[in-house]
């Protein structure tokens, strides 16, 4: 458990754990295809039809990292951005993926704070990570806590 902004700062580099495994089947991909402006045809032609589209893999990072952390005593928590994306390989359809996260940074942005989580996606079909990306969370400490009781806690056991 990380207490307060200073506590989060003191735990830079701490591995928070990983999400559950999620099998990426055609139904999962179909849910992403239903999003506006989602055209996965070009990637399927370039890489083969048996791989998970890169936009789906990236969307799964944001979805799965939410299983790794709990941010307490904060309001207006939002996933602000995903940056430093490194797509190492594309998992195949039917494989399972999970995301691990490490506290990489913390900085003030006006009245808000930004936590940077270094995320790594693993695939059960490969021995090496398939994706690396930094997920940025922005939040505002609750007025009654003034940041002193802000906690980022592990939501899963290692």
pLDDT digits (tens, 9 = 90+) for 122-135: 999 999 999 999 99
pLDDT digits (tens, 9 = 90+) for 43-78: 444 455 689 998 899 999 999 999 998 777 777 888
Each domain of the chain, given as residue ranges in start order, spans 2-141
What pLDDT does residue 18 have? Answer: 96
φ, ψ at 138 (rounded to 5°)? -115, 145
Rounded Cα gap, residues 125 and 1, in angstroms = 32
Element (H, E) at 113: strand 112-123
CB 93 within 8 A of CB 24: yes
Architecture category of domain 2-141 in CATH = Roll (3.10)
């Amino acid at each position: 458990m990380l207490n307060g902004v200073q506590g989060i700062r003191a735990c830079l580099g701490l591995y928070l754990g990983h999400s559950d495994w999620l099998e990426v089947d055609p139904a999962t991909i179909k849910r992403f295809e239903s999003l506006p402006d989602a055209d996965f045809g070009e990637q399927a032609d370039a890489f083969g039809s048996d791989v998970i589209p890169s936009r789906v893999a990236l969307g799964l990072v944001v979805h799965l990292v939410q299983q790794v952390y709990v941010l307490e005593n904060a309001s207006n928590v939002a996933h602000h951005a995903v940056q430093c994306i490194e797509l190492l390989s594309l998992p195949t359809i039917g494989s399972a993926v999970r995301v691990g996260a490490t506290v990489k940074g913390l900085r003030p942005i006006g009245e808000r704070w930004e936590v940077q989580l270094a995320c790594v996606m693993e695939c059960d079909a490969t021995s090496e990570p398939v994706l690396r990306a930094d997920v940025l969370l922005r939040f505002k400490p609750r007025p009654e806590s003034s940041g002193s009781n802000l906690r980022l806690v592990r939501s899963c056991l290692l």
